[in-house]
């Protein structure tokens, strides 16, 4: 599956995913998408992508509700679904690479990647280094030089605590620049939206966020700018003017899979309904535009392929966490 991520990192277009008509199972009543963070971040974008595209593609005829369950970058939602809402056929929960990284480190408590049913990966995002639009940093080397001069002088904000994917992006940047990542001045937020708000208020100097939610904030008028994207090549469209970290001298990459899971006791029939609904939606002619509107990119995986991808990525993140001396299961 890492070959799939490499293809996404190179901005590959959607591969083949077998189109199939929805089976005769009834669609779930009162469908709900749980975004396991505050509004405005990547989980919110993922749920709203599902909310609109499942309806517009004709896969879902009932309005889906988006609800918010912040805590632990997905940990609270994960524990709630596995511990209390195991069989809710109509409830899907958004996850990202950050969720899988936290699972790899045991941050979801006693539960592991084997405790839910992984439905689909619906798109890819990429890490981004974000600063104030009119701030003092006009390039990634300028930011790195400031950190090198005094690691405590630059306040780095990110969604999640030490070991989170945003922290990992900062640590990888520090390592690539020859800086002791343990000396970083790091401030944790519940999600990327909170970090972006703090950045606008001058409470942090930089956010290690994602392209999707950061560009959405910029599109909405936030006085921010992307200093670098964490991909091997520039992204297309309006993001093509943003340089990569690699072309600025720091070869770090952070692709982010975004998708959904359901509870462990959801029936095979109901699980398959969601698999087929996302298959139909990602084959829909308007899906590429739906992704583009949210600054996301194609990475279509469903059912067993999603499950295999998740388990492989968790193993990769365990190895990465070990490299950075983080506690793993």
Strands 32-35 and 117-132, by their bridges, are unpaired
| pLDDT value of position 190 | 74
DSSP conformation letters of 125-163: EEEEEEEETTSS--SHHHHHHHHHH-TTSSEEEEESSTT
| pLDDT value of position 89 | 96
Residues 6+ apart with CB under 8 A from 195: 157, 158, 159, 166, 189, 204, 207, 209
| pLDDT value of position 25 | 64
The domains of the chain, with CATH numbers, are 2-125+255-323 (3.40.190.150), 126-248 (3.40.190.10)
Q: How many CA atoms lie within 13 A of 285 on its CB side?
A: 0
Chain centroid to CA 283: how far?
22
| pLDDT value of position 293 | 93
Q: Taking a C-beta distance cutoff of 8 angstroms, is the pair 116, 95 a contact?
A: no
Q: How many CA atoms lie within 13 A of 10 on its CB side?
A: 6
Quote the DSSP letter at residue 243.
P
Query: pLDDT in tens for each of the 329 residues of the chain?
Result: 444 444 444 443 344 454 444 444 679 999 999 999 888 888 999 999 999 999 999 999 999 999 999 988 899 999 999 999 999 999 999 999 999 999 999 999 999 999 999 999 999 999 999 999 999 999 999 999 999 999 889 999 987 788 989 999 999 999 999 999 999 899 988 777 888 899 999 999 999 999 988 998 899 999 999 999 999 999 998 899 999 999 999 999 999 999 999 999 999 999 999 999 999 999 999 999 999 999 999 999 999 999 999 999 999 999 999 999 886 55
| pLDDT value of position 18 | 46
Strands 255-262 and 91-96, by their bridges, are antiparallel
| pLDDT value of position 327 | 66
Q: How many CA atoms lie within 13 A of 89 on its CB side?
A: 13
């Amino acid at each position: 599956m890492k070959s799939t991520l490499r293809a996404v990192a190179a901005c590959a277009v959607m591969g083949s995913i077998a189109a199939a008509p929805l089976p005769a199972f009834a669609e779930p009543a009162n469908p709900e998408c749980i975004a396991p963070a505050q509004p405005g971040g990547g989980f919110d974008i993922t749920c709203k992508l599902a909310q609109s595209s499942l309806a517009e593609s004709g896969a879902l005829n009932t309005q889906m509700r988006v609800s918010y369950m912040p805590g632990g970058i997905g940990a609270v939602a994960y524990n709630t679904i596995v511990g209390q809402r195991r069989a809710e056929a109509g409830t899907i929960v958004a996850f990202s690479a950050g969720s899988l990284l936290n699972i790899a480190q045991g941050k979801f408590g006693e539960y592991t990647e084997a405790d839910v049913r992984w439905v689909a990966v619906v798109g890819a995002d990429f890490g981004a280094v974000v600063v104030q639009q009119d701030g003092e940093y006009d390039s990634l080397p300028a930011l790195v030089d400031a950190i090198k001069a005094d690691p405590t002088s630059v306040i780095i904000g990110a969604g999640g605590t030490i070991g989170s994917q945003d922290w990992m992006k900062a640590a990888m940047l520090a390592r690539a620049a020859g800086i002791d990542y343990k000396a970083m001045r790091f401030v944790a937020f519940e999600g990327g939206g909170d970090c972006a708000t703090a950045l606008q208020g001058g409470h942090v100097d930089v956010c290690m966020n994602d392209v999707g939610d950061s560009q959405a904030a910029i599109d909405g008028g936030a006085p921010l700018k992307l200093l670098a994207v964490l991909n091997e090549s520039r992204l297309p469209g309006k993001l093509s003017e943003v340089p990569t970290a690699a072309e600025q001298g720091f070869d770090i990459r952070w692709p982010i899979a975004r998708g959904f899971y359901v509870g462990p006791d959801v029936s095979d029939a109901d699980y398959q309904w969601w698999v087929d609904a996302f298959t139909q939606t990602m084959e829909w002619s308007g899906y590429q535009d739906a992704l583009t509107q949210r600054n996301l990119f194609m990475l279509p995986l469903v059912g067993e392929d999603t499950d295999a991808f998740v388990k492989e990525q968790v193993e990769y993140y365990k190895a990465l966490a070990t490299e950075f001396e983080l506690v793993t299961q």
